[in-house]
Amino acid sequence: MSISNQVNIFLWSILGGMSIAFVYDIFRIKRRTIKTNNIITYIEDLLYWSISAAIMFAIVYIGNDGEIRGYIFLGTIIGAILYILLLSRLVIFISLKIIGFLKKALKTLWVIFTYPFRVAFRFFSIPCIFLYKVAKRIFKNSRRVAKINFDKCKMAKRAFQNRRKKI
């Protein structure tokens, strides 16, 4: 294998290390914006390591015909360190600002979209509350009357049974 080919593979491994660090930043951004429970975090970690392994496998298999060399791992580590030192903070900062802007925009659209429904709810809630209180009062009285009538029927039934026994 020629030196130029090895340098080419080394540069690809640096790019692979940078892409692995970028994928890690994607998961960091996701974890900052969306809180998840432990099980989802474990699944995300498994997904991250699967993606990282696939990137490394592609670099080793395509670039070096599957031969594992130390300079490939060295290039990957250098690429990850370069990305973390030079680009990571910037990518996270810009991504969080964009996500924050999108959240505010969607919230504003939601408020605009739901405004007619909120106005209608307020408009109809006053008569509905009044009707609810009236119905509650009526049914409260009717429940009391029904209980009295039920008790009277029970007593009449007992009286009838007692008379029947006497006969």
pLDDT digits (tens, 9 = 90+) for 121-163: 778 777 877 877 777 777 776 766 677 666 777 777 777 777 7
CA dihedral 93, 43, 60, 8 (to 10 degrees): -10
Asked if residue 76 lies in contact with residue 59, where contact means CB atoms within 8 angstroms, the answer is yes
Instruction: Place 117 in a pLDDT band, splitting at 50, 70 and 90.
Output: confident
State yes or no: pLDDT of 114 exceeds 80: yes
State yes or no: pLDDT of 47 exceeds 70: yes
Domain span at 63: 3-166
Nearest CA to 95 among 25, 161, 149?
25
CA dihedral 154, 157, 161, 167 (to 10 degrees): 140
Place of tokens 């605009």: 112
3-33 and 38-58 helices, crossing angle to 10°: 170
Q: What is the chain's Cα-based Rg?
A: 36
Number of independent structural domains in the chain: 1
pTM assigned to the model: 0.68
What ranges in 59-88 are assigned the alpha helix state H?
64, 70-83
State yes or no: pLDDT of 167 exceeds 70: no
- The two tokens of residue 125 are 């809630």
